[in-house]
Amino acid sequence: MRRSRAITLVLAACVLPRVAVAVHEKAALLLVPEKSDIIARLLVRTGTFGFVPGEPSAYTQPLYGWFLATIYWTLGRNWWSLSTAQIAVSAATAVLVYEIGRRYLTGRIGLIAALLWTLQPYLVWHDLHVNREILDQLLGAGMFALALVAAGSSRLRPALLLGAVTGVAILSNTRLVALPIAFGLYLLWRRSGWIAALLVPVLALVMLAPWMVRNKAQVGCVAITTDARALWKANNLGTYDTLRHGLWIDDVPDIPQRQQDPRPLLWYTPQEAGTYYDTHGVQMPLDECAQEHHYEHLVVQFLEHHPVEKVKLMVQATEMLWDPRLRLDNGASSGSTQVRRYAEPLYVIPLYLLAIAGLFLVTPAFRVLAGTFLVYETLAAWVFAGTTRYRVPWDFVLALLAAAAIDRMPWSRWPVRRPPSQ
């Protein structure tokens, strides 16, 4: 199949199912609460990146908020503007997956991989709702492609681009903060030179610097996000049992002092202050930098005094991350009961098995990079938590490996019937 026809097929497979979901869901696409959505609305209305007018915040990674604000400012906040923009991101990712496969494996493998990835039932549903992971998948595919380019090039420009894109990815997902180091080690293994390896974390830091300087000047501390409370919710004595009973970390029992301590500066989050302002019109004083330090201290205490409990959480996070069944952690974006129980596992389990086989069929450079992605997201789950929506943005790696295995199956080697010559 010619490249143009393959891309057309990939785009059709990506766009048509998602358009059908968007038309079916409509207003429901905007119902799931998300911090970035709240911030984006205020940013468009008042110019403040935060929850209260005139009170800047760093309570979440900023990239998805900026993305939503751009949509809301240009097209308004409605289901069709959101779905159009996010379908465009999904389509770009699908084409990029195809190009990775075409360039570094074969055109047929690239086509199979793109179709496997973009038709995953969870993604078809999840991509349309308000969710930060929509940008993670495009940036993940971009980093994967640039890492392969940088590893096979004697020039420094690909390493510079890889570092820059990785920095942008961290602004979308703070769990990727150590990824530039992983890429640097990969380039050293590929003998791309220590300069190229060093440029990746340096350029990533350059991309992060303006946001961190802004936070120091306007919020009071150098940080990518001050929401250390989310890290604490994933690392305390109540986390394991909460997740074991099918709930999410947002349901972890709160700190009793939150309701008893008279120091609102320490205990009320910026998002809660925004809710209070919207309800009462009164701006609640708070110090989110002090909150960040306090919750980080609680996490360190948990790690020091309860190492066995942390090991249990790490095992649990791994199971949850790679569980082929969907986790109910994101409301409407988890889809219907039938999809959760049947369609997604039936799709993902063969994908896992084929991806394992595909590891032995790709080049060492491709295999090690794929392993780097898969291992990194597992390690990130150990630090934070594991769930379906944290895994699926990088499922394109599994799709590429699975496509390599499918391409080697006997039926895929049948000769192509060609029309008789005229």
DSSP string, 346-369: HHHHHHHHHHHHHTTTS-HHHHHH
Q: What pLDDT score was predicted for residue 88?
A: 97
CA-based nearest residue to 91, from 150, 167, 153, 13: 13
CB 175 within 8 A of CB 380: yes
Q: Does the pLDDT of residue 414 top 50, yes or no? A: no
CA-based nearest residue to 227, from 272, 276, 193, 168: 272
CB 344 within 8 A of CB 122: yes
Q: Does the pLDDT of residue 312 top 50, yes or no? A: yes
CA dihedral angle for residue 100, residue 101, residue 104, residue 108, rounded to 10 degrees: -150
CB 305 within 8 A of CB 235: no
Q: Does the pLDDT of residue 415 top 50, yes or no? A: no
Alpha-carbon Rg for the chain, nearest whole angstrom, is 22
Q: What pLDDT score was predicted for residue 100?
A: 97
Helices (H), 281-343: 288-305, 307-322, 337-338
pLDDT digits (tens, 9 = 90+) for 48-67: 999 999 999 999 999 999 99
Structure-token pair, residue 225: 């996000």
pLDDT digits (tens, 9 = 90+) for 216-241: 999 999 999 999 999 999 999 999 99
Arithmetic mean of pLDDT over the chain: 89
Q: What pLDDT score was predicted for residue 314?
A: 96
Quick one: how far is CA 244 from the chain centroid? 23
- State how far the Cα of 359 lies from the Cα of 363, in Å rounded to an integer: 9
pTM score, whole prediction:
0.92
Exposure of 282 in the CB half-sphere (CA atoms within 13 A): 4
Exposure of 336 in the CB half-sphere (CA atoms within 13 A): 9
Instruction: Among 102-106, 186-190, 264-268, 337-341, name the one with the lowest average pLDDT.
Output: 337-341
